[in-house]
Amino acid sequence: MTSDVTPDLPAGLATSPPEAPTGPAVGSATKETLEDYTLRFAPRHYRKWSTGVVAVSALGGIAYLADFAIGANIGIAYGTTNALWGIAVFAVVIFLTGFPLAYYAARYNLDLDLITRGSGFGYYGSVVSNVIFATFTFIFFALEGSIMAQGLQLGLGVPLWAGYAVSTLIIFPLVIYGMKVLSTLQLWTTPLWLVLMVIPFVYLLVSHPESVSSFFAYQGEDGAGAPNIGSVMLAAGVCLSLIAQIAEQIDYIRFMPPRTPENAGKWWRAVILAGPGWVIFGAIKQVIGLFLAVYIIANVTDGAAVANQPVHQFLEIYRDIMPAPVALGLAVVLVVISQVKINVTNAYSGSLAWTNSFTRVTKRYPGRLVFLAFNLLIALVLMEADMFSFLNTILGFYANLGMAWVVAVASDITFNKYVFKLSPRQAEFRRGMLYAVNPVGFGTLLVAGGLSIVCFFGGLGAGLQPFSPLVAIALALVLPPVIAFATKGRWYLRRTDDGITLPMYDDFGNPSDVMLDCHVCGQRYERPDMCACETHDAFVCSLCLSTDRTGEHVLPEQERTVAIG
């Protein structure tokens, strides 16, 4: 249910949706962030999509072909058996860690950076995790862009260097307008993408059933792919570099409608499917990528040289089904659609991550488009440096940082918020309400990420080197409750009172839709985005607090008189 507004509420209260920003007093930051509530809580009046539309839009972002390349690479390196077990480890870890994050995002309508702030990292401490996520977006943008460039070279004869530039520039105009355009793009392109992706796999199963036994017997390029726990963990480590994908899923999931008794079933199905459920589709794609690679190695002349390139994987199978020109055209279409579907999400999410970090540190909002261009430029440099040729190494290294961050947040939500009640259960992200740095999550990231990277490079001995993913996971899982107990939850909340007497949530526990005026930017926002102002008898929105360079609007630290629980 929505909140009722009575006439005796404080001045500045409004009940109608916010109007489009107008007038000279409204800054460019306010205008841009209202496109899709960049850096903000996603308000109820804006979340008009059904649970199904949000879920399909979120899953559209996992249309990338990198999974095919990753599956092929780990299978070629470690053999089918080790690769399959590595993929299974990856799927279980991703699902278990992604569930609490997706639930929290859908319940409180926040992106993962805003969640991270109040889940053990602090207002400034989460900047580090933001940089980790931004790194994820340009690494995988570069990977997908490389695959698209390979398709353009094969189909149209475009040189790779030019293909890299095309695959980058084509994304920029599609990302300018945020969620509204992205959801439409994902909905319209998903059916064709599914058909083109499934055809080769089904064809091989039906027409070449012997390919299944060859697949399971494959021992890797050096023929030493016998079952081995070290190889399993090395394979899992490469796959687990995708753990930060949950942050991109959350960039869509935060727009879920409120959960009510009437829609609870649909709401939960959508959250699970589009949140942690993405890994089911990701794991399937990795297995298919390896399956196609093994077939190509065994049946195509010089197939080993191109077996890990998705465009060749699909092209070779299409050629068995249809005339060569049609096969080539469909392979290129599939590559382009896949690259565009995922890279609009990579570019969008990366621009949010960079902008969020820069705004908090400098108290300035330069505009999301500045960092959109910045993210694309880094990705282009990686492509031109041929990152595709050392894919396993770069992904295995990155996985340690990604796991340390995501698992730490998942552990804080699960154990500190719900089991031990050491962390405030309800979300908090506003400046003034949080301490600058919380040792629970920030300390966990430094220890778990640092030690796992040392392990990855052999610093803890050759015997432990393959197990760096387990080091990151175990430490990130255990340390948050340990540190929270040691600090008695002291560093979560700087204040327990935001100065507003209106309830934050409605009768169903959903964030309130009551509107309040921000006296700084002159716009109206829903209750969860607002705080009382320290120097005025008025309210101020979260972004105006973030860009307050003098700190005059920020509420002072409050002496703790009540427990967090």
The residue that leads in pLDDT, 341 or 104, is 104
Closest CA to 67 of 185, 241, 223: 241
What is the C-alpha separation between 532 and 515, in angstroms, rounded? 13
- Residue 517's φ and ψ, nearest 5 degrees, are -85, 135
The residues, any chain, with a CB within 8 Å of residue 109's CB and separated by 6 or more, are 41, 42, 43, 44, 47, 254, 255, 256, 511, 528
Query: Are residues 356 and 371 in contact, defined by beta-carbon separation less than 8 angstroms?
Result: no
**DSSP symbols for 274-321:** HTTTHHHHHHHHHHHHHHHHHHHHHHSTTGGGTTT-HHHHHHHHHHHH
Confidence of residue 143 (pLDDT cuts 50, 70, 90): confident
CB atoms within 10 A of CB 457: 11
Could you tell me the two tokens for 385?
Answer: 């440096």
3-class SS at 377?
Answer: helix
**DSSP symbols for 496-557:** S--S--S-SB-TTSPBP--EEEBTTT--EEEGGGEEE-SSSSSEEEHHHHHT-SS-TTSPPP
The residue that leads in pLDDT, 388 or 45, is 45
pTM of the model: 0.84
Instruction: Return the top range by mean pLDDT from 97-106, 221-230, 232-241.
Output: 97-106
Q: What is the pLDDT of residues 194-224, one digit of tens each?
A: 788 888 888 888 898 998 999 999 998 877 7
Q: Nearest-5° angle of CA 400, CA 401, CA 404?
A: 85
H-assigned helices in 160-305: 160-169, 172-175, 179-207, 210-217, 229-239, 245-253, 264-274, 278-299
Confidence of residue 448 (pLDDT cuts 50, 70, 90): very high
Percent above pLDDT 70 for the chain: 89
Query: Are residues 469 and 509 in contact, defined by beta-carbon separation less than 8 angstroms?
Result: no
3-class SS at 493?
Answer: strand
Q: What is the pLDDT of residues 258-309, one digit of tens each?
A: 999 999 999 999 999 999 999 999 999 999 999 999 999 988 888 888 888 8
Point out which residues pair with 434 in neighbouring strands. Answer: 431, 493
3-class SS at 389?
Answer: helix
260 conformational bin, left if phi > 0, alpha if psi -120 to 50, beta if neither = beta
Residue type, 99: F
Residue type, 275: G
**Length reported for the chain:** 565
Q: What is the pLDDT of residues 300-354, one digit of tens each?
A: 888 888 888 888 888 888 888 889 888 888 888 888 888 777 787 788 878 888 8
First to last CA, the chain: 25
Residue type, 559: E
What is the C-alpha separation between 149 and 174, in angstroms, rounded? 18
Average pLDDT over the chain, rounded to an integer: 85
pLDDT surpasses 70 at 66: yes
DSSP state of 434: B
